[in-house]
Structure 1
Amino acid sequence: ELPLELWPLTRLTLLDIRFNELRTLPPDVACLTALEALLMGGNRVQELPVEAMVRGLGCLRLLDLSPWHRLRDVHATEQTLRTALPELEVLLSDPPADPTVQQVDTGPALPPQGADPSMEAQLMPLSTPTLHARLLTVFGLRMPHGSSAHHRRMLLRRLCECHSGRGPRVERRITGFPLPPALAGALLEELTATSWPRPRERGKVAAGEYLTVSPANAGRHPRLWALAAETVAVLDPSFAYTAIAATKNFCGSPHIDTHDVGYQWALSLGTFSGGGQLCLEVAPDEVAVIDTQARAAKVDGRFVHWVRGYQGDRFSLIFFRTRGAADPKAAAVLLPPLKDAPGS
């Protein structure tokens, strides 16, 4: 359920409650009289409090139900809301991906040492409804809706201009949880000796090597799988994961892990220098820059994230979950009260 503390926020203009396993949207939502954008896709709500919404949400301009919803009689609900709120745009699903629209930064030039991919590349993974919502709620720009590749490129350009006008985004520096040196050394030794698959997995991301290991193929990488289990036992014994992703020289490539249903643990290893931090967009004007070198961080891959440019060889290991009940999308970075690792 939504917290009661939400309803007194009468100046709130954007409410993002996507992927929270919600089954009801209470009539109290009408208290949010300044609300302009309501993003609530990925929940199990079957009926909206239409009368309350019509009565209290006169400022509402965007109701985003993408990428999926469970509403009954959705078209009748949509018609009722649009009749009462003529300026309201209702999005039932994200426009289908256009093959001409790149979802990741696949240009030939990787970010140089200590640098990030371009702002356009950082914004590219955002869905079209999210681009609309940010332009409206952060920059006060109401843009026409459309589903063409040209329309999406127009939104990206406009949003890049808006961010550029504000100057560099705030960076929040975070240091990951230190790995025990013996464990970090064993992981690095195993990753260095790993036989990487051909053709490489996830060919659209900028990485020298990429490998996914799960129970189905753990027999081909028994030492890596065992070390992964040992790592989780140190970091977060109750953490559940369905697979691990191992990479070598992953760089740039802003993306969203759309199949994730919860948090992931991320760590990096190697002698790289001059960058290599894991970066996550935690808010439109804020980026978390996380030092994961021989360290680990618990992050939500459903936020846009990338790796800052660096020199040298960088290996990474990601523990993630794509099955089971979804964790609510809340903080982009979790900082559990962990003690120093044994032997660190």
Structure 2
Amino acid sequence: MTHFEPALRDRHGRRFSYLRLSITDVCNFRCNYCLPDGYQKTAGPEPLQLAEIEQVIGSFARLGTRKIRITGGEPSVRRDVTDVIRVAANTPGIEQVAITTNGYKLAALVDDWAAAGLQQVNLSIDSLDAQRFEDITGYKHLDRILAGLDRALELGLKVKVNAVLLKGFQQNELGEFLDWVKHKPVAVRFIELMQTGDQPVFFSENHVRAEAIRQQLIDSGWSEKARGLHDGPAQEFEHPQYAGRIGLIAPYSKDFCSSCNRLRISSMGKLHLCLFGDQGHDLRPLLQSQNDGSQLDQALLSLLGMKTETHYLHDGDTGATRHFAMLGG
């Protein structure tokens, strides 16, 4: 693997080698922190087609992106999700292909995904207790999701588990997750609940800071692991007696945005410079088959100059993000 300096860089000195690519805003779960009433379809254009997705990935790869994460909504609701994985894996320059999924189709599809070139699965599991999992997500079959996780590990895929921190979590469930990773080679990342436009009251009633968990880990002999070049925002910890790792994603912590290395494309083809930024910059007019990609390349380079130094969540400003299904988190 050769070292390559991304051409995508902003005026704050940050380089962007990681693209989160949403391929749908549809989700079949009803998570209480995201879509408590389920997915509500709104009028608008259809999601990016496979040929458009190929152009987007190609442009980002030419500009130094090396990691693609396929997100939703729930990406597995798209019938051609395996084709999207294959396109990403076969694009020159792309070194890592990952997917974030709620896992309801994981057991059925993960073999095809691995054969298409997938290397990493991020699986949303907010609780290992079946009843609490159902209460949070509106979905009963935790056992099916865990079976898919085990199959992904059998195939040699790197597996990470995302769990949103909600009020009561630390007292009730941290120990269960720690026991689980004792012999399970996965990275569990606890994510601070972030305020969105649709859920201000839920946020105020359920937000839990990650700092207390961080201190518990350190006091129990866990040590911080160095971040990889294309890693996301998690601060990961490891322990010599545990097969798995623990990560913390704390967007309200000091200097959280200083290490930002990722950009986002919505399922409608808009570039979002920040998860909690503006409405996005429409790139779809540039995704025409007769274009050689140079216009898209130049547009991306130009738009990076507009990226702000930080989000404004501390001020209660959630930008255009109404819920996480819009951009896959």
Structure in which a larger fraction of residues adopt helix: 2
TM-score, with structure 1 as normaliser: 0.26
Higher relative contact order (CA 8 A, sep 6+): 2
Larger Rg: 1
